[in-house]
Amino acid sequence: MGEEIDILYTDMSKAFDRINHKLLLAKLKHAGLPYSFLRWTSSYISNRRQQVTVLGATSQSLSVVSGVPQGSILGPILFLIYSNDILSTCEKGAMYADDLKCYKPIASLHDANSFQSEINSVCCATQNCLLDFNESKCSVLRISRKVNRIEHSYQINDSVLPTVNKIKDLGVHITSNLDWTEHAYNVSKKGNKMLGLLKRCTVAFQCRETRRLLYLTL
| 24-41 confidence digits (pLDDT tens) | 999 999 999 999 999 999
Q: Which long-range contacts (CB under 8 A, 24 or more apart) does 95-102 make?
A: 96/170, 98/11, 98/12, 98/15, 98/16, 99/9, 99/10, 99/11, 99/170, 100/10, 100/12, 101/7, 101/8, 101/9, 101/10, 101/169, 102/7, 102/8, 102/10
Mean pLDDT of 69-88: 90
> What is the pLDDT of the chain when averaged over all its residues?
89
What local confidence, expressed as pLDDT, does residue 101 receive? 94
Could you give all domains of the chain from N- to C-terminal order, each with its CATH number?
4-165 (3.30.70), 179-217 (no CATH)
Percent of the chain with pLDDT over 70: 99
More confident residue, 205 or 80: 80
Total count of residues recorded for the chain: 218
For the entire predicted model, the pTM comes to: 0.81
What local confidence, expressed as pLDDT, does residue 217 receive? 76
Q: What is the pLDDT of residues 160-197, one digit of tens each?
A: 999 999 999 888 999 998 888 888 988 888 888 887 87
Q: Distance of CA 102 to CAs 50, 90, 94, 111, Å?
A: 35, 6, 7, 14
